[in-house]
């Protein structure tokens, strides 16, 4: 990671800022169920810099995996080679997840709606979709049983919609969404997402243009650390 004493700290991309902000949400010592893609990139960074004592759990059965780079899939050999131990997929879901042993779940998404619901199945009509996506996988169970869910996704008006085209996953507990513009949290009363933090260089107009509904923005909006 570049040293801010040696380079201008503005020399990072919005995607790097999103990854760093997501990595900072990992609580040190927590047991975290991690999806592939952006969540795994954030997990690798978190373990290196912010939360060295996290236990990373992957759907393939790797418990305590310590990947040095983002795995290409849940079957990436490095997950098995660096894990504390391996269990069967049914055990991951029954003993670890449904047993209440997962504190944080980290997920990606193709679409997110105003209530934090996730679509990872199709864009457009289910029977005649514009895009058919990989599907939810274990995400519905992760979102249902993890005590807290963090969704990591790039923010555009196409990805942040008032209603998802297909409801793949509905988070049950505390939900945060980390994007390349800032951080949203679900309001305990309205259950809608509200912007609580904004990344450096981003303004409220950018947020509104990249959101498919009239997004609520907290009055005491904080700025993410660069």
* Integer Rg of the chain from CA: 17
Q: Read off the tokens for 18.
A: 């999103």
Known catalytic membership, residue 78: no
Using DSSP's 3-state secondary structure scheme, residue 127 falls into coil
Q: Report how far residue 14's alpha carbon sits from residue 19's, in angstroms, rounded to the nearest whole number.
A: 9
**Tokens (6 digits) for 167:** 């409801």
Helix axes 14-23, 38-45, angle to 10 degrees: 60
Find out whether 99 and 110 touch, Cβ atoms under 8 Å.
no
Q: Which of 15, 59, 91, 192 is catalytic?
A: 59
- 78 sits in the region (left: phi over 0; alpha: psi -120 to 50; else beta) called alpha
Residues 161 and 166: their CA atoms lie apart, in Å, by 11
Contacts 24+ apart (CB under 8 A), 52-57: 52/28, 53/28, 53/29, 54/26, 54/27, 54/28, 54/29, 54/30, 55/30, 55/31, 55/84, 56/32, 57/31, 57/32, 57/33, 57/92, 57/96, 57/102
Annotated active-site positions, please? Answer: 59
């Amino acid at each position: 990671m570049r040293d801010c004493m040696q380079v201008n700290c503005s020399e990072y991309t919005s995607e790097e800022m999103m990854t760093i902000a997501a990595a900072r949400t990992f609580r040190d010592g927590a047991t975290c169920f991690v999806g592939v893609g952006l969540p795994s990139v954030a997990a690798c960074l978190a373990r290196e810099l912010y939360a060295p004592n996290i236990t990373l759990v992957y759907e393939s059965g790797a418990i305590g995996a310590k990947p040095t780079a983002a795995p290409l899939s849940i079957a990436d050999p490095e997950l098995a080679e660096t894990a504390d131990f391996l269990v069967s997929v049914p055990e991951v879901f029954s003993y670890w997840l449904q047993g209440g042993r997962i504190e944080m779940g980290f997920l990606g998404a193709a679409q997110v709606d105003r209530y934090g619901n996730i679509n990872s199945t199709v864009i457009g009509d289910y029977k005649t979709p514009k895009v058919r996506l990989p599907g939810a996988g274990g995400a519905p169970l992760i979102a249902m049983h993890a005590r807290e869910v963090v969704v990591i996704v790039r923010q555009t008006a196409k990805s942040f919609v008032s209603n998802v085209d297909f409801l793949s996953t509905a988070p049950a507990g505390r939900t945060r969404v980390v994007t390349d513009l800032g951080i949203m949290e679900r309001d305990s009363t309205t259950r809608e997402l509200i912007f609580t933090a904004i990344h450096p260089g981003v303004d409220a107009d950018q947020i509104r243009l990249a959101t498919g509904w009239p997004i609520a923005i907290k009055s005491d909006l904080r700025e993410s650390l660069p």
